[in-house]
């Protein structure tokens, strides 16, 4: 590969472009252009919203609610056929687009609400926009050798195997906002106008990828992050100062292979390391294996690491194998460290072709029935995600684990009141999967929002936790759920749930504000809904 790379670098860019134009044939993947999953355009200037249904609560805080998600720039060129084999983009590879709703008050105390959307202006986004056609060859899904060649050609042409998409999350630290995706540094965003300010490397101290879900430590305000990589070091953990200017701690956790770990947890004293067998790496393609693949017969473990510890200081606990992307929260409870997250058995990320995945998706997203004829544990219900709890006893070294909610309801993308990150909390919120609608296209749709009461037993099954549901209307799906705490609130759930929703029947996007203490109620005066300024344009993406 090194010799081939050197040889190809000697070839002019023009010849390489002509080679690709002659060898590759690009086409559309229809499922990436359907409904609310399809790309939208930047609307330009900020648009003021005056079409309100209900009233914004008087004590709702001023600020901005930002949703990040993938938005393809050249949606008709997301699949490629070549002499090397087929490759394609995943839905999760579109360029990052930010959707912002601004809440401010006039001098008279009247609400002024506006909307703006904008692409995250990464270096590779600018490259594709100038070319006005696809630049990076699709490589995430497809046959192994075709994937390898695509990675190689992208690296020779652009210096990196895949584009910087910055499309997975947006997080705040030290009063600054950052758009992030796992494979590169986050990009700082000016929230006043959504202008991209540039990559954030902590003044040159951080040169690794950056998780989409770093955790801020209650009290100190420090930020714990991590980066996973196909090359050594495969897993690096960092602690960033509360002012965002210094890297206080950086340590290689000595992983022996590339693992695509999506989330990290913190407690008052510890960092929580999730380790599950979602393998990724270029060497896999040489061995004719998918670039990304989860091993359902593999081993999972969870590590408890002192805040400023090293690889040798981690206490590892073997747990039942899983592939869980998102955590509610972690905290210490006596001798135990408690981790709560949404557990799945398999990964929605896989570099197998979309056609191959689609053959199984109808069963993977549905509630598994172990008594049904033809039940296959490697397929059925493997993407049916449910709230789960791991209890790790630091004194005895033992583990207790199990599901927290009803086996009939799938949910994911958990959030909590962020004032309780790392400490014991009573409430968690999550997006509820419409399993049938999701199974039909292989992309998640969420038709309810759940409020999980960790401190309350379910009335019918005392082994489970009580759950309230906020039900959306037919063919309406939510995305980007967040909890907004009430200023000077007393209880943990003093606040609101805010989310984008999209009505597939009318093709209108809205924002809902839901009182967390009156969670299951129908629309009330304290719930905001606003229509998009142009019903033909969808102002949110579903991820």
Residue 336 has pLDDT above 90, yes or no: yes
Residue 468 has pLDDT above 60, yes or no: yes
Q: Which long-range contacts (CB under 8 A, 24 or more apart) does 403-408 make?
A: 403/343, 403/464, 404/340, 404/452, 404/454, 404/464, 404/465, 405/450, 405/452, 405/458, 405/464, 405/465, 405/467, 406/458, 406/461, 406/464, 406/467, 407/367, 408/367
Residue 382 has pLDDT above 80, yes or no: yes
Residue 387 has pLDDT above 70, yes or no: yes
Residues 6+ apart with CB under 8 A from 171: 177, 178, 180, 186, 212, 213, 214
184 is in an annotated binding site: no
Residue 543 has pLDDT above 50, yes or no: no
List the single range of 160-164, 197-201, 326-330, 426-430 with lowest mean pLDDT: 160-164
Share of the chain above pLDDT 70, in %: 92
Mean pLDDT of the chain: 90
Q: Which helix (H) or strand (E) holds 283?
A: helix 282-286
Question: How would residue 533 be classed by pLDDT, with cut points 50, 70 and 90?
Answer: very low
Residue 523 has pLDDT above 80, yes or no: no
Question: How would residue 361 be classed by pLDDT, with cut points 50, 70 and 90?
Answer: low
94-146 confidence digits (pLDDT tens): 899 999 999 999 998 899 999 999 999 999 999 888 888 889 999 888 899 99
**Tokens 């309406």 label which residue?**
476
Range 174-180 average pLDDT: 97
Q: What is the pLDDT of residue 10?
A: 61
Give the Cβ contact number of residue 5 at 10 Å.
11
Range 523-535 average pLDDT: 40
Question: How would residue 476 be classed by pLDDT, with cut points 50, 70 and 90?
Answer: very high
Residue 295 has pLDDT above 90, yes or no: yes
List the single range of 35-49, 95-109, 169-183, 209-223 with lowest mean pLDDT: 35-49
Q: What is the pLDDT of residue 167?
A: 96
Question: How would residue 538 be classed by pLDDT, with cut points 50, 70 and 90?
Answer: very low
70-81 confidence digits (pLDDT tens): 998 888 899 999
Cis peptide before 233 (omega within 30 of 0): yes
326 is in an annotated binding site: yes
Range 40-54 average pLDDT: 90
3-state helix, strand, coil split of the chain in percent (to 5) is 15, 35, 50
Question: Across the strands, what pairs with 119?
Answer: 97
345-356 confidence digits (pLDDT tens): 999 887 655 445
Q: Which helix (H) or strand (E) holds 364?
A: helix 354-364
262 is in an annotated binding site: yes
Residue 359 has pLDDT above 80, yes or no: no
Q: Which helix (H) or strand (E) holds 124?
A: helix 123-131
Range 12-28 average pLDDT: 87
Burial class from Cβ neighbours inside 10 Å (0-12, 13-18, 19+) for residue 290 reads: buried
Range 451-474 average pLDDT: 96
Q: What is the pLDDT of residue 5?
A: 61
Q: CA–CA separation, 405 vs 262, rounded Å?
A: 23
DSSP 8-state assignment for residue 440: H
Question: How would residue 522 be classed by pLDDT, with cut points 50, 70 and 90?
Answer: low
Q: CA–CA separation, 182 vs 16, rounded Å?
A: 28
Q: What is the pLDDT of residue 351?
A: 63
Residues 6+ apart with CB under 8 A from 152: 1, 4, 5, 8, 161
Q: CA–CA separation, 84 vs 147, rounded Å?
A: 9
401-421 confidence digits (pLDDT tens): 999 999 999 999 999 999 999
Q: What is the DSSP string of 127-171?
A: HHHHHTS--SPP-SEE-HHHHHHHHHHHHHHHSSSS-----SEEE
């Amino acid at each position: 590969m090194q010799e081939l790379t050197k040889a190809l670098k000697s070839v002019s860019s023009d010849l390489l472009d002509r080679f690709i134009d002659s060898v590759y044939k690009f086409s559309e993947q229809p499922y990436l252009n359907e409904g609310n999953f399809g790309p939208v355009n930047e609307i330009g200037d900020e648009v003021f919203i005056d079409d309100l249904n209900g009233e914004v609560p008087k004590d709702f805080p001023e600020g901005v609610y930002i949703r990040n998600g993938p938005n393809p720039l050249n949606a008709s060129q997301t699949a490629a056929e070549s002499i090397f084999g087929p490759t394609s983009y995943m839905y999760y590879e579109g360029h990052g687009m930010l959707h912002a709703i601004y809440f401010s008050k006039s001098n008279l105390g009247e609400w002024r609400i506006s909307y703006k959307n904008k692409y995250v202006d990464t270096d590779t986004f600018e490259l594709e926009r100038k070319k006005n056609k696809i630049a990076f060859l699709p490589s995430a899904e497809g046959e192994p050798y075709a994937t390898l060649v695509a990675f190689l050609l992208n690296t020779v042409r652009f210096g990196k195997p895949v584009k910087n998409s910055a499309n997975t999350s947006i997080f705040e630290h030290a009063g600054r906002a950052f758009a992030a995706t796992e494979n590169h540094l986050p990009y700082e965003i000016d929230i006043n106008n959504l202008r991209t300010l540039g990559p954030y490397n902590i003044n040159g101290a951080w040169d690794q990828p950056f998780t989409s879900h770093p955790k801020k430590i209650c009290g100190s305000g420090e930020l714990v992050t991590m980066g996973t990589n196909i090359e050594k070091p495969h897993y690096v953990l960092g602690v960033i100062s509360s002012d965002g200017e210094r890297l206080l701690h950086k340590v290689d956790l000595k992983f022996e292979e590339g693992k695509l770990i999506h989330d990290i947890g913190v407690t008052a004293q510890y960092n929580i390391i999730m380790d599950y067998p979602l393998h990724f790496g270029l060497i896999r393609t040489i061995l004719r294996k998918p670039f990304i693949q989860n091993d359902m017969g593999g081993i999972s473990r969870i590590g408890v690491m002192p805040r400023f510890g090293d690889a040798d200081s981690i206490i590892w606990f073997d747990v039942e194998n899983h592939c869980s992307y998102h955590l509610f929260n972690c905290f210490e409870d006596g001798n135990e460290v408690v981790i709560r997250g949404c557990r799945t058995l398999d990964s929605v990320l896989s570099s197998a072709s979309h056609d191959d995945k689609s053959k199984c998706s109808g069963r993977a997203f549905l509630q598994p029935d172990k008594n049904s004829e033809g039940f296959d544990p490697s397929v059925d219900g493997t993407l049916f995600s449910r709230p789960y709890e791991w209890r790790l006893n630091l004194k005895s070294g033992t583990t207790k684990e199990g599901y927290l909610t009803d086996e009939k309801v799938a949910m994911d993308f958990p959030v909590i009141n962020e004032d309780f990150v790392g400490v014991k909390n009573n409430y968690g919120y999550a997006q509820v999967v419409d399993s049938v609608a999701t199974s039909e296209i292989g992309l998640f749709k969420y038709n309810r929002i759940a409020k999980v009461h960790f401190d309350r037993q379910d009335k019918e099954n005392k082994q489970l936790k009580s759950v309230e549901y906020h039900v959306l209307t037919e063919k309406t799906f939510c995305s980007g759920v967040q909890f907004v705490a009430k200023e000077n609130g007393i209880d943990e759930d003093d606040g609101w749930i805010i989310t984008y929703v999209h009505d597939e029947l009318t093709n209108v996007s809205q924002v809902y504000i839901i009182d967390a203490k009156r969670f299951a109620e129908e629309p009330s005066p304290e719930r905001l809904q606003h229509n998009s300024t142009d019903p033909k344009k969808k102002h949110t993406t579903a991820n």
